[in-house]
Structure 1
Amino acid sequence: MDSIDSQGVTIPRLGLGTFRLQGEECRRAVEGALALGYRHIDTAAMYQNEDAVGAAIAAAGIARDALFVTTKVWHDQLAPEALRRAFDASLARLGLDHVDLYLVHWPAQGMDLGATLEALMRLREQGRTRAIGVCNFNLPLIRQAVEEIGAPIAAHQIEYHPFLAQTPMLAYLRGRGIPLTAYAPLAQGRAAQDETLARIGAKHGATATQVALAWLLDQDGVMAIPKAGRPESQRGNLDALAIRLDDADRAAVAALPKDQRFVRPAFAPDWDATAAA
């Protein structure tokens, strides 16, 4: 599988998202994905499924260094001591002695970002996480993390799909050599119903969903973590890696509306905030 190197780690470009998968359903999904060849698993404390993910990893019997496991700390536990406790609890639930990537799940209003990232960097120095990163930061926040604090951000995970542009963010991240991990890459199921994506898919013998993933993975520095609980969906997502879009396909996707954001919690940052030059 294609991968991206960042801050000393190698990250498979296609991973398995596990949001809303819990208990036995989650365990079966992760076990099945690992059996199919997935090696990048994304979870979070907030998903309440780290124990199921850990059980699946243990059952799979795959060498630990062949897996890339990401988890995240929730926005109410960003103070250093709370963050360390949250990390310890996540590691225990996963049944692992380290994770590969530990992320701030959402920024919190009034947080001490420097102290939060220092705590993350300390976990990295201790070898308890191999890399650190963030999710859902706007441009001013990611610039603060990278330029003012100097945090070794290995990935930035944000909502990204054919109906939402991330042009300024992508330009900034590429300039700094930071990969973008696209969550909700299928627009929470909406990609499957889009006529433009379906037409492109028909040309390639593929589905609209596969075209959405292929469009993301066609871009430099972009990874994707679609949630997929069913084996057929997991296989279909893997098959998207083989699709090669042409310029006409890219132009058709570019013409789709690009202002549709579907993940909008009340605590989200101001997405329209811009970073000063």
Structure 2
Amino acid sequence: MPMLGLGTYPNADYDECVESVRRALDVGYRHVDATERREGYYNETAVGDAVAQVGVPREDLFVATKVSPEDLDYDHVFRSVEESLDRLGMEYIDLLYVHWPTGDYEVTDTLDAFADLREEGLIERIGVSNFTVDLLEEAVEVADEPIFANQVEMHPLLPQTELREFCARDDVNVELVAYSPIARGNLEAVGELREVAGKYGATPEQVSLAWLREKGVTAIPESTSEDHLRENWLSLGVELDDDDMEKIDSIEERRRIVDPDEAPWNW
């Protein structure tokens, strides 16, 4: 899984999404995080069309998508994935996530469906999203196939320390994928990030992406502009030293950007 990808939420405009994915692929991105939710945003068709237009070989791409909470019973998981593959115009999905552990999510029923999809070759890897330590521990214990990744909000203002330590355990070994990794524009005012950014002639957003990479976390920042796509891509050239990491880890401010009432950390 490439450690820097393109997140496509909340890009629901077809033409804009096609163009942003095309630009990202031209810049060098090979990890695209798509999704399809009835209640909000729709972009799998645009992602698939953009991939087809650019012509990057499928084996060079890492494509992820999600199953909505209302489709998490066994039969609906299969239907959802078949529809996703049709929209993407692809034969398999590299990583399929349980988007939220809400709605029709039932750990055994849902993960059995994911395991059977993997056995049939329709998905390569099983992922979950927005899972707390307790929910992830349960999923790891129940799943017949390994849980590859947990996608959560993570950035220097929400470092997810407990979750990251749990995922790193030898008996868990789950990758973390960070959505909103640059806190949706809320990092510019953070003094520690500005200080580290000045040291490297970088931006606070690039420093956040570099910090995640040093933590072993994959980042999927959302962007539609070519300038921001390139800026995020250039974060791969920012290499933080131990002092930089300590300075960023010392940030006391905490802020969660995505916080719906039904989220598991609010139960």
| TM-score over 0.5 (shorter chain) | yes
Runs of 4+ in 1 over 2 A off after TM superposition: 148-151, 192-196
Matched, 1:266 2:266: no
Q: Which amino acid aligns with 2:92?
A: H
1:161-176 to structure 2, matched below 5 A, reads 161-175=155-169, 176=172
Q: How far 1:248 sits from its partner (Å)?
A: 2.3
Q: Which residue of 1 aligns with 2:220?
A: 225
Matched, 1:249 2:244: yes
The CA deviation string for residues 158-198 of structure 1, in whole angstroms up to 9 with x for no partner, is: 01000013111111111122110011101111123433212
SS at structure 2 position matched to 1:127: coil
SS at structure 2 position matched to 1:12: coil
Q: Which amino acid aligns with 2:251?
A: L
State how far apart, in whole Å, the 1-side matches of 2:106 and 2:80 are. Answer: 17
Matched, 1:25 2:20: no
Matched, 1:106 2:100: yes
1:1-277 to structure 2, matched below 5 A, reads 11-21=1-11, 22-46=13-37, 47-108=41-102, 111-175=105-169, 176-220=172-216, 222-257=217-252, 259-270=254-265
Q: 1:109 to 1:76 in 2, by over 3 A?
A: closer
State how far apart, in whole Å, the 2-side matches of 1:109 and 1:27 are. Answer: 30
The CA deviation string for residues 2-28 of structure 1, in whole angstroms up to 9 with x for no partner, is: xxxxxxxxx000000000113111100
Give the gaps of 5 or more residues in structure 2: none
SS at structure 2 position matched to 1:19: coil
The CA deviation string for residues 55-83 of structure 1, in whole angstroms up to 9 with x for no partner, is: 10110111100000000001111001111
8 Å Cα contact 2:68-2:100 kept in structure 1 = yes
Aligned identity (percent) is: 40
Q: Which amino acid aligns with 1:135?
A: S
SS at structure 2 position matched to 1:45: coil
8 Å Cα contact 1:101-1:129 kept in structure 2 = yes
Q: 1:136 to 1:43 in 2, by over 3 A?
A: same
8 Å Cα contact 1:165-1:258 kept in structure 2 = no
State how far apart, in whole Å, the 1-side matches of 2:242 and 2:143 are. Answer: 40
Stretch deviating more after TM superposition (261-270 or 72-81) = 261-270
8 Å Cα contact 1:106-1:137 kept in structure 2 = yes
Q: Which amino acid aligns with 1:229?
A: T
Q: Which amino acid aligns with 2:180?
A: A
State how far apart, in whole Å, the 1-side matches of 2:71 and 2:104 are. Answer: 13
Q: How far 1:156 sits from its partner (Å)?
A: 0.6
State how far apart, in whole Å, the 2-side matches of 1:79 and 1:110 are. Answer: 6
TM-score (norm 2): 0.94
SS at structure 2 position matched to 1:131: strand
Q: How far 1:110 sits from its partner (Å)?
A: 6.8
8 Å Cα contact 2:4-2:218 kept in structure 1 = yes
Q: How far 1:150 sits from its partner (Å)?
A: 4.2
SS at structure 2 position matched to 1:164: coil
SS at structure 1 position matched to 2:97: strand
Q: Which amino acid aligns with 1:213?
A: L
Stretch deviating more after TM superposition (94-103 or 242-251) = 242-251
State how far apart, in whole Å, the 1-side matches of 2:229 and 2:114 are. Answer: 32
